[in-house]
Amino acid sequence: MQMRFDGRLGFPGGFVDPQDVSLEEGLNRELHEELGPGAASLHVAEDHYLSSHVPEGPRRVVTHFYAKQLTLEELRTLEDRATQAKEHGLEVMGLIRVPLYTLSDGVGGLPAFLSNTFIGNSREQLIHALDTLQLMPREQLQKAVTMTQKRP
């Protein structure tokens, strides 16, 4: 995930430009702009699609969510090169790793992370991706979400 210019957490992405042939082409362009040269080798494709969201209200911007698992080496390369991104320091303040654990106090780790402020439906997208990609046991994920809902 990334820390955005407005202090909220979100995923890289943006609008599809008229010259983009597909959603995936637009996404890969945005990834390069926001994540830098490390994103070039991470080509996101149609089979990485997870979901779409159409919000209620007058401003109906449809969002499409893609998720791709990375190796630790790919993640480190991405992190190392992120400061070279066109949008670094402007639109994107930095990358943030999501803690895939809960500390013994039941609050630290993922529950605390989920208590942050997210842009749009990024929090729900994160939870959906963690579950769909089975990045942590479902029971542990559900406990983290429940613990977050109990916090003031």
pLDDT of residue 40: 83
Angle between helices 138-150 and 122-132 (to 10 degrees): 160
Taking residues 4-28, what's their average pLDDT?
92
CATH class of domain segment(s) 8-88: alpha beta
What are the helix (H) ranges across the chain?
A: 23-35, 72-81, 110-114, 122-132, 138-150
pLDDT in tens, 44-87: 999 999 999 888 877 778 889 999 989 999 999 999 999 999 99
The whole-chain average pLDDT of the chain stands at: 91
pLDDT at 29 over 60: yes
Sheet with 9-10: list strands edge to edge.
Answer: 9-10, 2-4, 92-95
Q: What is the pTM of this model?
A: 0.88
Residue at 41: amino acid letter: S
The SS3 of residue 143 is helix
- Per domain, the residue ranges of the chain are 8-88, 98-152
